[in-house]
Amino acid sequence: MTDVTPKAAAPSLLHLDSSADGPVEAVTRQLTALFARTWRERHEAAGVRPAYRYRYRDLAAEPVPPLTAAYAALGRRAERNGARSPGEVAALAATADEEREWARTRPLIEEVREAGILLIGVPMYNFAVPAALKAWIDRVCFPGAFTDPDTGDSLLRGTRVVLALARGGGYGPGSPREDCDFQLPYLRALFGALGVDGKDLHAVTAEFTRAGDVPALAAFRDQAARSAERARARAVALAR
């Protein structure tokens, strides 16, 4: 009998923020908070108990430790042995350092496995995702972490992923910097590889978020306001 983590019976939301800025400055934090609040209100209004399960992590305030040699050694051993349940992976640890790395990693993986919706706030830093988010990604993407050891199927099939994205400039289709977007394409490829269906991955995008304070982007302030309004509306629609 394997200990495959079941999806929670009640609707379950795992909410992650990764912006280095606080809630006043960070557009992604504002968007994820709007989604989470709308989602929770919707389930509370249904009057069913338990109405939902909600978990929050601030990856910037409480960073996930970067990978170590012990993590890599355990990961290679697990990969050679094929997909394993979390309990079986623990038994593969050969040193105290490997046991410690798995103890840090397993709770993060189980949070994702249990979630029905994964909500992630992702600002664009230097054309890509923040280091705080990348550290979390590197740790939860342990070999076989989201593969059913009995069937080989992805445990994330049916999981909805909502990405709240913010870009200081413009990187949308047809823009001069479209080819510099290593934020959304990367996340699409990542979650696709983990088994999330394309129809279950949703992007909520606000562009030109620095137009209000960067003189070179001042001409895009109206476009920024429209983009922010669309992003807020889409967040609410997805949450409902």
Instruction: Mark the binding-site residues, compressed into ranges.
Output: 19, 124-127
Binding region for FMN: 19, 124-127
Asked whether the beta carbons of 162 and 233 are under 8 A apart, the reply is no
Q: Give the list of residues 6+ apart from residue 179 with CB closer than 8 angstroms, or none.
A: none
Residue type, 40: R
